[in-house]
Structure 1
Amino acid sequence: MNIVVEGKAFIKNKIQQVCIGIENGRISKIAKILPKGEENYRFKKEIILPAGIDIHVHFREPGFTYKEDFSTGTISAAFGGISCIFDMPNTKPPTVTKKTTLDKIELAKKKAYIDFGLYTGITDENFEKIEDIAKYCNAFKIYLGSSTNTLLLDEKNLKEFFTIIEESSDKPIMIHAEDEKCLNEHKKIERNLTDHLRARPDLCEVKAIQNILKYRNKKNKIHICHVSSADSIELLKNKKDKTSIGVTPHHVIFSKNIKKKTLPDSFYKVNPPLRTEFDVETLREHLTDGFIDILESDHSPHTYEEKNVDFDEAPSGLPGVETMYPIFLFWSRKNLLPLHRIVSLLCKKPAEILNIKKGEIAEGKDADLIIVDMKNIQKIKTETLHYKCEWTPYEGMRAIFPRYTFVRGKPVIEDYTLVGKKGYGKQVKNNKDEQEL
C-alpha cells in the first residue's frame, strides 16, 4: 500500500475500527489489519469520515477575482472538509461555450488545491449547440429566473432544450428554479428581507418547478438547486423520479426574521430569499427524513463593501463553502441531525448525482477523507476563515472543523494547517467518461 490510514471510520452507516489502504489516490483495501504502507496515519480519538462534495459554488473566476478565485476558494473549501467543488457558470465571460469551458478548466487546473468540476450554462443563445460542449463540462446549469450575473433560458425554450439534450448527452442538469415572468410581476423597491421575500415569493419557485416537471425528459437527471419553500417540497412529493433536491445551510438556518443578526439585512440578501419560519421547519424536517437529497453551500461571495449598502442596491449572495460541513457536524454532536444523514447529504448523494467516484469510504472510491475530533467545538469567526470576502453570516455559531482533509490520499489540511499545493486539484470525470478514457 502507498498509504494506510487507521482509526474509527464511518463505513456503511456505522463507525468501525479499520485500516484503509490507499493506492494511486483510491481506496484499494479496507480491513481490520493491513501491512504498513509507505506513509501511515493512525488516529485514536478522532473519527474518519468521507470528505464533503459541494456541488454549488461561485468561485468568481474569471472576471470577479477580487471576490474569490480558484486558489482561495479551494483552500477555504479544504479547511471546511470539502475535497471537491462544482463551479457555476455565471462568471465574466460566462461559461457557455466550448472555449470558455476549456479556458476555465485550465484556470482551475493551475490554481485548485482540491478537485473540481464545472457547469456550462444554458442560455437562449446556446441551447441548440450543447453537443459541442457536453464532453468538457460535468453537467449543465439553467437559470429560469434572474439572479446575480444571470444567464437566462426562457421558458419557451425549455421544452426544446430537454428534447435536444435527450438526444445528445446524458449529463445531469442543475436548475435555478425561479420563474422569470413571476419575478417581473412582483418586482418592487426592496428595503429589507421581508420586501425581498415579497419580490421573490414562493409562487415563483413553484411555477418554475411545475415547468421543469412538465417539460423534462426521461433520460437526464435533474437537480433543483437551493429549494427554499414548503410549497415546493409539497409539489415534488411523489414526483421525484430522476429529480434530486438541494437545499442550502442558510435556508435551513435563517428565516426572514433572523433572531440573532450579526450584520445588516443586506448581508443576508440571497436568491431564492430567506423565507418564513414554517418554510425553515419544513426543510429541516425533510433533511432528517431523507426526502431532501443534498446540502449545497451556494457559496456566492461579495465583498463587505458591496454588501454594506442600502438593501435595494446590495447584490444577492453569501459565503458558505468553509462553514457548511462544520456546522452540520456540530448539529450531529447536538443530535439535531443524524451523522448518517449528514454523510448522505454532503458526500454520498452528491457523488451519485454527478456520477463520480467519491463520497464514500469504500474500495474503488477516491481516498477523500476528513479526520474529525467531535469534541473540538469552535465558534465561527470571520478572522479565522480563508475565503476572500472577509465576512460570514454564521459569525459566532458553533462548528466542528476537520483536523485533516485528504484529497486522493494526500493531506491538503494537516493539523488544521494548509499543507496542500496549488495545482494539485484536477477536474473530476464522471464514471462513464472515465470508462471511455
Structure 2
Amino acid sequence: MATTTRPLAIVNARLVDPASGYDGPGALLTKDGLIAKVAQGEALSLPDDVQVIDASGAMLAPGLVDLRVKTGEPGSEPKETLKSASRAAAAGGVTSMVVQPDTDPAVDDPAMVDFILRRARDVELVHVYPAGAATVGLGGERMAELGLMREAGCVYVTDADRPIVDSKVFQRVLTYAKAFDLWVAHRPIDPWLSKGGAAIGGEFAGRMGLPSVSPYAERIMLERDLALAEATGSKLLVDQITCADALESLKRAKAKGVKVAATVSINHLSFNELDIGDYRTFAKVNPPLRGEDDRQALIEALASGLIDVVVSAHSPAPAEDKRLPYDEAAPGAVGLETLLPALLALHHDGRIPLIDLIAAVTVKPADLIGLKAGRLAVGAPADLLLADLNAPVVIDADKLLSKSKNSPFDGRRLQGRVLTTVVEGRIVHQAQQ
C-alpha cells in the first residue's frame, strides 16, 4: 500500500492507547507510513513540512481491527465488494479487517487467498486480510490446504457460519493448524438443534410462532470444541459467543489453560430477542439474538476480559433478501460503520472503561492474529482513528456506504462520530462538516 511522503501530525488530542495503558492528553507524528513520535502529556516538536490536524480534544486511538467481515466478492458482488466494504470500514474507523472465506468460490486454497490480497491492494484504502476455509468448499469433510494458505497470507482458518460437525475432521483441522501456528475460528452451534431455526428457543419465539434454535445448541457444540482444543493443544477462537451457559464453559477452559479466545458481535452486546419486535427482519442475525439476561452476561464477560474481542459481524444482505417473512429472510447485518458508536454506548452508560473497550477492537485482535497495528507506539503502523466521543449520531441506514443497508441500528441514537481515519499515514476518510 502506497504511503504519503509528507509527515502528518495530530495535536491537542486525547490519546487512548490500550497497549501502554495511557489515556490522556497528547499528540502524535507519522512519517513514511509509521508512527514517528508519540507525546504523552507534553508538547510535540514538528518539522516544517508537516500536515497538522488539530484534534481539539477528540480521541486519537489506534485504528479498529475487525476480525469478522463478510463481503460478496467474489461471487455476490451486488451484496458488497471489497471496495465498498473498504469504504465503509474507513468511514467507521476500521483500518484492518479480516474477510470471511464463504464466497463463491470459497477461499480454500492459496490462489484464492492471493486473489483477495491483490484485490485489496488495488482498492488501496484499508488493510484487508483473508481468513482461509478450514475445509474444502466449507463442506466440513476434507481439510483445506492450511499450510499453503498460511504461507499465502491467511490469518486464521474457519468455515464461517458453518459448523464442522464431524469431530474427526475438526480434530484433524486443529492438529494441522497447530503446526502452522494458526487459530481455528469455529461457530459453536449444534446443527440438529438449530436446523430451520429463525429465533432462539423460548417463550418469545413461541409467542411469535417462529421456528426456533435450541438455547442449548451453542453450549453443547462449544463443550466438544473445547475438549478437542485441550486434547490437541491447538488455538481455538470461539466465533461469536452469545449465551451465559457458554460463558461458563469458556471460563472453565481458560482456567485449565486451554488455548482459547472468544469474540462477541456488537449486535449481541446491543440488542436482545425483543428487538425483533413485529418480525423486524433487519434484526435477524446469525447467531440469533438472545434474551436480556444473556446480553447482560456478555457485557460483564467483556468487562472482565473473559471475552477477548468485539467484532462487527458485518454481513451484507440486499433488501430483497430481507423483506421477506421472518423465517425466510436472510440473517445478517452490516456493521462496519456502526461498530464504534455502538461500542461507545457501553462507555457512556458507565459499563466498561473506555480504554478497555478500545482494547477489544484494537490491540487484542491485532495481537491475536499477529499484526503490529493496534497501538500508539513509535515504529507501529500509522493506522489511526480520530473520533468525537460525545457527538450525537442518528444512524440512517440509507446513508451507510455499504452496498447493502441491512442495519438493525437504523434510527438508533448513539454518541460517537469518526472524524478522520488514517492508514499508513494517509488520510482515507474525513467526516463532512
Q: TM-score range by the shorter chain?
A: 0.7 to 0.9
Deviation (angstroms), 1:112: 4.7
Partner of 1:4: 9
| Cα distance, 1:15–1:327 mapped onto 2, change above 3 Å | same
Mapped partners of 1:308, 1:46: distance in 2? 39
Deviation (angstroms), 1:92: 0.6
User: Aligned runs of 1:133-148 on 2, under 5 Å?
Assistant: 133-143=149-159, 147=161
Could you tell me whether the CA contact under 8 Å between 1:200 and 1:272 is conserved in 2? Answer: no
1:248 aligns with 2:265: yes
Deviation (angstroms), 1:359: 0.9
Cα shift readout 1:291-318 (whole Å, capped 9, x = no counterpart): 2111101101101111110122212211
Mapped partners of 2:417, 2:247: distance in 1? 31
Letter in 2 for 1:407: V
C-alpha RMSD of the superposition: 2.5
- Counterpart selection for 1:404 from 410, 420, 430: 420
Partner of 2:130: 118
Deviation (angstroms), 1:125: 4.9
1:34 aligns with 2:40: no
Letter in 2 for 1:215: L
User: TM-score of the superposition, structure 2-length normalised?
Assistant: 0.87
| Cα distance, 1:347–1:52 mapped onto 2, change above 3 Å | same
Deviation (angstroms), 1:105: 2.0
Cα shift readout 1:301-356 (whole Å, capped 9, x = no counterpart): 10111111012221221111110112222432342332012111111111111110
Mapped partners of 1:335, 1:46: distance in 2? 19
User: Aligned runs of 1:35-434 on 2, under 5 Å?
Assistant: 35-36=46-47, 37-123=49-135, 124-127=140-143, 129-143=145-159, 147=161, 150=162, 152=164, 154-167=166-179, 169-184=180-195, 187=196, 194=205, 199-216=212-229, 220-240=234-254, 241-258=258-275, 261=277, 264-397=279-412, 398-416=414-432
Cα shift readout 1:209-237 (whole Å, capped 9, x = no counterpart): 11211112665432111100111001111
Mapped partners of 2:28, 2:415: distance in 1? 27
| Cα distance, 1:309–1:204 mapped onto 2, change above 3 Å | same
Secondary structure of 1:372 counterpart: strand
Could you tell me whether the CA contact under 8 Å between 2:67 and 2:99 is conserved in 1? Answer: yes
Mapped partners of 1:230, 1:245: distance in 2? 13
Moved more, 280-289 or 13-22: 13-22
Letter in 2 for 1:117: Y
Unmatched 5+ residue regions in structure 2?
Answer: 1-5
| Cα distance, 1:153–1:128 mapped onto 2, change above 3 Å | farther
Cα shift readout 1:258-306 (whole Å, capped 9, x = no counterpart): 28x5x74332222211111111111111122222111101101101111
Deviation (angstroms), 1:111: 2.4
Could you tell me whether the CA contact under 8 Å between 1:7 and 1:43 is conserved in 2? Answer: yes
Deviation (angstroms), 1:197: 8.3
Mapped partners of 1:190, 1:407: distance in 2? 39
Mapped partners of 1:348, 1:191: distance in 2? 32
| Cα distance, 1:353–1:313 mapped onto 2, change above 3 Å | same
User: TM-score of the superposition, structure 1-length normalised?
Assistant: 0.86
Letter in 1 for 2:224: N
Letter in 1 for 2:188: A
Could you tell me whether the CA contact under 8 Å between 1:143 and 1:153 is conserved in 2? Answer: no
| Cα distance, 1:220–1:138 mapped onto 2, change above 3 Å | farther
Unmatched 5+ residue regions in structure 1?
Answer: 418-437
Letter in 1 for 2:155: A
Secondary structure of 1:275 counterpart: coil
Partner of 2:25: 17
| Cα distance, 1:188–1:287 mapped onto 2, change above 3 Å | closer
Letter in 2 for 1:364: G
Could you tell me whether the CA contact under 8 Å between 2:8 and 2:30 is conserved in 1? Answer: yes
Could you tell me whether the CA contact under 8 Å between 1:85 and 1:117 is conserved in 2? Answer: yes
Secondary structure of 1:405 counterpart: strand
Mapped partners of 2:245, 2:291: distance in 1? 12
Could you tell me whether the CA contact under 8 Å between 2:198 and 2:210 is conserved in 1? Answer: no
Could you tell me whether the CA contact under 8 Å between 1:197 and 1:273 is conserved in 2? Answer: no
Mapped partners of 1:282, 1:191: distance in 2? 16
